[in-house]
Amino acid sequence: MLPAWWKEAVFYQIYPRSFQDSNGDGIGDLPGIIDRLDYLQELGITAVWLSPIYDSPNDDMGYDIRNYQKIMAEFGTMADFDRLRDGLHARGMKLIMDLVVNHTSDEHPWFQKALADPSGPFGQYYFLRPGQPDTPPNNWTSFFSGSAWRWFPEQQLWGLHLFSPKQMDLNWSYPPVRDAVCHMVNWWLDRGVDGFRLDVINYIAKNPGLPAGDPLIGQLMGFTGVEEYFYGRHLHEYLRELQERSFTPHHAFSVGETPGVGMQMSKLLTGDYRHELDMVFDFDVLETPGHVRWDDYRYDLNYLRDYLVDYQDHYGSHYWQALFIENHDNPRMISKVNPDPQYRIAIAKLLAVIELTLRGTPFIFQGQELGRVNAQFHNIRDFQDVESINKYHELLAAGQTEQAALAVLLAGSRDHARTPMPWDTTPHGGFTTGTPWLAGDDDYRQYNAYSEMANPRSVWSTYRHLIKLRQANPVLVYGATDTVDRRRNAWSYIRRDDDHQPIQVLINLSARQKRMTIPAGGSLLYRNYPAHDGRFKAYEARVYRLPE
Ligand code: TEU
Ligand code: CA
C-alpha cells in the first residue's frame, strides 16, 4: 500500500453558501469561511473541499459556472480566495476545489459565442443540433425533470443539458474543449490549490452519435439515456489526458463524483497503475437496494455494513475508498436511519465511528459533526433547489396532490443538507445577522458548534476524539480490516497491521438491545454511551485497543 497525504487526510466539505455569512446579506462567503478556519483545525480536519465558488448565475447554486477564473461576487473576491488558501496552508490543511466541467452555465462566454455563431470556433464546444421545435434530437431526459434538450428558437437549434436548462453540456470529443479545461485546471493549480473534486466526471464522454436511450433502462433508472454517457466509450482517454496534462505535473489530487459506478468501474477509474483519478465517490452507499432518494423509508444499517465490508474485503491495495455518508446533494443520514429524536445522538456517533475507523479517506459534510438532521420544511416556498422545485411541479403535472408532492420533497430534497450551519444560540444560529437565503430550523438552540464544543459528550466531541484517534494510530488508516461479527444487527471488525496493537470496533446496528462479545484484555478507547454494562444499547458503538 503506497502512502499518500490524501490517504491519511480527514476531509471536510464546505457548502460555502451555507457555512458562514460575514456581511449580513444572508449568504455565506469566503471571509466567513476564513473566520472559521480555527474551528476546522480544532476539529482535526486536514483537508477542505469547497463546493463551487466561481462566478455563476446560481441556477444550480454554483454548479452552473459562468466564469471559471472569477469568484462569485456574493462570495467575495480573488484576494479573499488567496487569503483563504493561505489560511488553510498556514494551518497545514490542503484545499481542493470543485471542478464542474461536464457543463457550463448558458451564460458562459463559450456558450454565448457558440449560439451567436454555431459554425464558428465555439460552435462545437457544446451539443447544438438543428431540428424542429417539437422533436428533440433524442429521448434523453434531464436529471432535473423533462427532456435533456432545450430549444433555442432564434437559432432554430437544440442544445443538450443533462441537468438544468441553464447547464449546457460540454462536448469533450472536440479537442479545443479539452485544451480549454486543462488550461483552466492548470491556472488554478498554479494558484496553489491541491486538487479537485470532479463533478459528474463519469458523464463527460457521451457515446458518439448520441444514440437513443433504451426505454426500459430509462424506466428502471428514472432517467432515459444514462447508459450512453455514464461510462462513455472515451471516458478513460479523457481522464488520462487531464491527468497527464494537469494533475500529474502539479502532483495534484483528484476525487471523482461518479454516480452509478460500482466497485469494478471504480477500480478502472482509480487503480494506482492507471493514471486517471485517485479516488471516486460510489453513491451505492446512500440508498438501500430498491430505493431512490425520494422514497420515505428507513435505511437499514445492515446494508451499510454489507456495502462497506464488501469494499474493505475486495477493493485491494491498488485502490483507495472515499468514505462518506452525506454531501450537499442528499438528506441527512441520521434522518434516514431513524428519525426518532431519542436516537439522534447515538446514531450520529455510531456513524462517526464507522466513517473514522475504516480503511479509506473520510469526507465529513458540514454539520455532520454536529449531528444535523433533516429540516422541517412546511411549504414548497421553503425550498430553493432547482431539482426540488422542478420535481414538485413534475409531480403535480402527473396528477399528484400538493400534499403528496411535498411529502416526496421532504424525503429526498437536497435542501435538507443546505440549511445554514448553526454556530451558536444567537438568531439563525449565528450564521448571519440578516435573513438566511434558505431557512433553517430552531434546533440550533440545542445543536450548535459552540455548545457542542463545550460538551465532552457531544457529537462534535466524538468526531474530534475519533479524528485524533485515527491520526495517532496508523493502523486505523492503512491497517487491514477483519470482520469478526456479522450477525443480523451486529458488526464488529478488527483493524490490524504488523507494527501496532490491533483496534476492534463493535456496533449494534439496531434500536434493540444486542448481546456482543467484548474482547478479552481490550482497553476501551471510545463508546457512545456513558455506562457500558451488559448488552449493547440502541445503536451502541465501542472501540477497543486489543493486546498484541
Ligand atoms: O451531482 C450530480 C448527481 O448526479 C446527483 O447527485 C444530482 O444532484 C441529482 O440529484 C441527480 O438525481 C452533481 C453536484 O453534486 C450537484 O450539486 C449538481 O447539481 C450536479 O452535479 C450538476 O452539476
Ligand atoms: Ca455574505
Each residue of 124-169: pLDDT tens digit? 999 999 999 999 999 999 999 999 999 999 999 999 999 999 999 9
The protein residue with its alpha carbon nearest to ligand 1, atom 11, reads: 143
What's the confidence (pLDDT) of residue 531? Answer: 74
Residues in contact with ligand 1 (CB, 6 Å cut-off): 60, 63, 100, 143, 163, 199-200, 257, 259, 328-329, 387
Q: Are 40 and 93 in contact (CB under 8 A)?
A: yes
CA distance 153 to 132: 9
CA distance 490 to 213: 42
Is the pTM higher than 0.75? The answer reads yes
Q: What region does 102 belong to: left with phi over 0, alpha with psi -120 to 50, or beta? A: alpha
CA distance 252 to 245: 11
- Nearest ligand to the C-alpha atom of residue 30: 2
Instruction: Give ∠ CA 539-542-545 in degrees, rounded to 5.
Output: 165
> For 45-49, what is the mean pLDDT?
98
DSSP label of 99: E
- Nearest ligand to the C-alpha atom of residue 61: 1
The protein residue with its alpha carbon nearest to ligand 1, atom 4, reads: 259
Give tens-digit pLDDT for 6-30.
999 999 999 999 999 999 999 999 9
Q: Are 418 and 440 in contact (CB under 8 A)?
A: no
pLDDT at 231 over 90: yes
Neighbours of 78 (CB within 10 A): 12
pLDDT at 532 over 80: no
What's the confidence (pLDDT) of residue 243? Answer: 98
Instruction: List CB-based neighbours of ion ligand 2 within 5 Å.
Output: 21, 23, 25, 27, 29
What's the confidence (pLDDT) of residue 534? Answer: 78
For residue 257, give the H/E element and its range: strand 253-257
C-alpha of residue 511 to centroid of ligand 1, in Å: 32
Return the percentage of the chain with pLDDT > 90, whole number: 98
C-alpha of residue 13 to centroid of ligand 2, in Å: 19
In the numeric block, the cell 460575514 is attached to: 22
**Would strands 503-508 and 541-545 be described as parallel, antiparallel, or unpaired?**
antiparallel
- Nearest ligand to the C-alpha atom of residue 21: 2
What's the confidence (pLDDT) of residue 1? Answer: 80
Alpha helices for 378-503 (secondary structure H): 386-397, 402-412, 449-454, 459-472, 474-478
Give tens-digit pLDDT for 457-513.
999 999 999 999 999 999 999 999 999 999 999 999 999 999 999 999 999 999 999
Catalytic annotation, residues: 199, 257
Give tens-digit pLDDT for 413-454.
999 999 999 999 999 999 999 999 999 888 999 999 999 999
The mean pLDDT value of the chain amounts to 97
C-alpha of residue 327 to centroid of ligand 1, in Å: 10
DSSP label of 427: G
C-alpha of residue 115 to centroid of ligand 2, in Å: 34
Confidence of residue 388 (pLDDT cuts 50, 70, 90): very high
- What is the SS3 assignment for 303? helix
What's the confidence (pLDDT) of residue 440? Answer: 86
State the closest ligand 1 atom to the C-alpha of 64, by its place in the atom list counted from 1: 23
Give tens-digit pLDDT for 105-120.
999 999 999 999 999 9
Q: Are 277 and 254 in contact (CB under 8 A)?
A: yes
C-alpha of residue 24 to centroid of ligand 2, in Å: 6
Which residue(s) pair with 98 in the sheet? 197
Neighbours of 301 (CB within 10 A): 23
**Would strands 94-99 and 128-130 be described as parallel, antiparallel, or unpaired?**
unpaired
Pocket test for ligand 1, best of 58, 199, 390 (most atoms within 8 A of CB): 199
Which set of grid coordinates corresponds to residue 294? 425520494
pLDDT at 122 over 90: yes
